[in-house]
Amino acid sequence: MSIDFSQLRHYLDSLVPARSETMQEMEAYAREHRFPIIGPAAGYLCYQTARMIQAKRIFELGSGYGYSTAWFARAVQENGGGEVHHTVWDAELSEMARGHLRTLGYAGLVNYHVGEAVQTLRETEGPFDLIFNDIDKEGYPGSLPVIADKLRAGGLLIIDNMLMSGRIFDESNQTAAVQGVRTFTKMITTSPEWIVSLVPIRDGLIVAYKR
Ligand SMILES: C[S@@+](CC[C@H](N)C(=O)[O-])C[C@H]1O[C@@H](n2cnc3c(N)ncnc32)[C@H](O)[C@@H]1O
């Protein structure tokens, strides 16, 4: 018997507790506009890990209209307050995120940056307890030294799309995005600085602990 991955994905999403109306609207928007949000199961893992380490300062690279940000903001609020940095280069998406996150009650927690995410992280004072990376995949290798510099020892890096819908297994695929994910995966899994697991939820998340 082998696992049907589409069935697995629906099953994992079905285990996530019911979301608020606003979160459901954000999920519906992603389906209608084919916008690549992390989805319920990966979002819940982000929330859970941020709660587990009592994260109070979180930086997100490639935030979209605020769906993943909402999961982190919920964790920070429940952890007693702090800050979540939302970073995207589209002003329109940043504006959409402000609306959603205000409605969800996280307005006071979120700092908005419109610009290139790695450069913004470079210019923002650390350290952070948790950094989440979901930028264009060719940018992943170049982001790692900046992330390592800004994350505290004992902090977590979560990075999305580490399976690229299976394209990483196709050796004839040498696109910049797939190569970016392969190079990043090799860099982090061979570095003594990190303890790393690839969690195959949705499109694959690396969860990495900085020693
Ligand atoms: C995959 S979507 C983000 C989804 C979001 N993390 C979520 O799950 O709700 C990535 C977004 O980041 C933007 N982006 C990609 N690379 C970026 C970069 N280097 N700097 C800033 N924004 C970037 C894209 O235009 C897109 O809007």
- Which tens digits make up the pLDDT trace of 80-105? 999 999 999 999 999 999 999 999 99
Q: What is the pLDDT of residues 106-121, one digit of tens each?
A: 999 999 999 999 999 9
* Span 50-60, average pLDDT: 98
Of ligand 1's atoms, which has the minimum distance to the CA of residue 30?
Answer: 9
CA of 61 to the centre of ligand 1 (A): 7
The preferred substitution site among 58, 72, 136, 161 for testing ligand 1, maximizing ligand atoms within 8 Å of CB, is 136
CB atoms within 10 A of CB 6: 8
The residue nearest atom 3 of ligand 1, judged by CA position, is 64
pTM of the model: 0.98
Q: Is 73 in the pocket of ligand 1 (CB under 6 A)?
A: no
For 142, left (φ over 0), alpha (ψ -120 to 50), or beta?
alpha
* Span 15-41, average pLDDT: 98
Residue 22 pLDDT greater than 90, yes or no: yes
Residue 74 pLDDT greater than 90, yes or no: yes
Q: Is 129 in the pocket of ligand 1 (CB under 6 A)?
A: no
The residue nearest atom 17 of ligand 1, judged by CA position, is 135
pLDDT at 206: 98
pLDDT at 144: 98
| DSSP letters spanning 147-202 | HHHHEEEEEEEEE--SSGGGGGG-TT---HHHHHHHHHHHHHHT-TTEEEEEE-ST
pLDDT at 180: 98
Q: What is the pLDDT of residues 127-155, one digit of tens each?
A: 999 999 999 999 999 999 999 999 999 99
pLDDT at 1: 86
The residue nearest atom 15 of ligand 1, judged by CA position, is 135
